[in-house]
Amino acid sequence: MKKIITIGEILVEIMATEPGDGFLEAISLVGPFPSGAPAIFIDQVAKLGQPCGMIACVGDDDFGRVNLDRLAGDGVDTSAIVTHPELPTGSAFVRYRPDGSRHFVFNIRHSAAGATGATPEAERLIEGADHLHVMGSSLSTPAIVELALSAADRIHARGGSVSFDPNLRPSVLATPGTRETMDRVLARTDLFLPSGPELFLFSGAATEGDAVAELLGRGIRAIVVKDGAEGARFHAEGALVSAPAYPVEEIDPTGAGDTFAGTFVTLWLRGATPAEALRLANASGALAVTRRGPMEGTSTRSELDAFLGAHA
């Protein structure tokens, strides 16, 4: 079986138990929940039984340990997750507002995640990998960017593949250098997984069809557009497959795109048809939004099959 790896941030999320407008009063909190977009992605891959590993850096603290225990327990190769002796594991506090939007307080910028870089353990993981998944949100330092690009080149040179989920807000794309970095990753991407609006951040086109044609013309083999409660669409040269989302009650949308991508990439590498990969990935995303906590949304194959059986 092909080994999938990813590089990036690990953090914890701590959530307010009741909706409200922020953290300006004493409120009840629940957590810490393991989190970080690439960590959620790789946990989903592990839950499907695929060999996988992660290159990351956590603090020498309980927030780091809670993540390491969860990832290792679910089957992720954590040999390239380094423990930093001084910097803390990052955290995010989140409270839902009454209108369903989210208020965040982040403590990530100066956390151990920023110290992720090349180590002998990372080199070993890259040498044994068949597929690299890159998330735009992880490319926060020059060291991480260079490590991701060199991993992509080395995995390609051995006949492997690369997927890319931009996971970016437009405001981040406006940061100097970000677009050039994303273009360098896109030039190495086989499977691209943007959300609906993100597709247009990377193309001047006005319609999804034109944007897809432009990106396929740049050498990307397949594009999966994630469209929230609308489901998802797969595009490749001469192929378009749409799959509706499953109707569920949304409790917590954080991590839906990462679990969707973990399932789609795993199924794609196993040779599933686009329709089958979309069916299971939509089930993953739907199950994720029904659970509180970002990584709590990852699912095993039997959980996905049970969900699909109930929604046949």
Contacts with ligand ADP, residue ranges (CB under 6 A): 195, 226-229, 231-232, 245-246, 248, 250, 253, 256-257, 260, 282, 285-286, 289
Nearer to ligand ADP, 36 or 88 (CB): 36
Smallest distance from the beta carbon of 235 to ligand ADP, in angstroms? 14
Smallest distance from the beta carbon of 146 to ligand ADP, in angstroms? 25
- CA–CA gap between residue 282 and residue 308 (Å, rounded): 10
Q: What are the Cα distances from residue 171, in Å, to 100, 276, 288?
A: 21, 34, 26
Nearer to ligand ADP, 188 or 226 (CB): 226
- CA–CA gap between residue 41 and residue 185 (Å, rounded): 18
Smallest distance from the beta carbon of 26 to ligand ADP, in angstroms? 31
Total residue length of the chain: 312
Smallest distance from the beta carbon of 263 to ligand ADP, in angstroms? 10
Nearer to ligand ADP, 155 or 304 (CB): 304
Q: Using alpha carbons only, what angle is made at residue 3 by residues 9 and 132, rounded to the nearest 5 degrees?
A: 45
Taking alpha carbons only, the member of 164, 104, 109 closest to residue 134 is: 164
Q: Do 103 and 23 meet the contact criterion of CB atoms below 8 Å apart?
A: yes
Smallest distance from the beta carbon of 281 to ligand ADP, in angstroms? 6
Nearer to ligand ADP, 181 or 254 (CB): 254
Q: Residue 271 CB: number of other CB atoms within 10 A?
A: 8
Nearer to ligand ADP, 270 or 311 (CB): 311
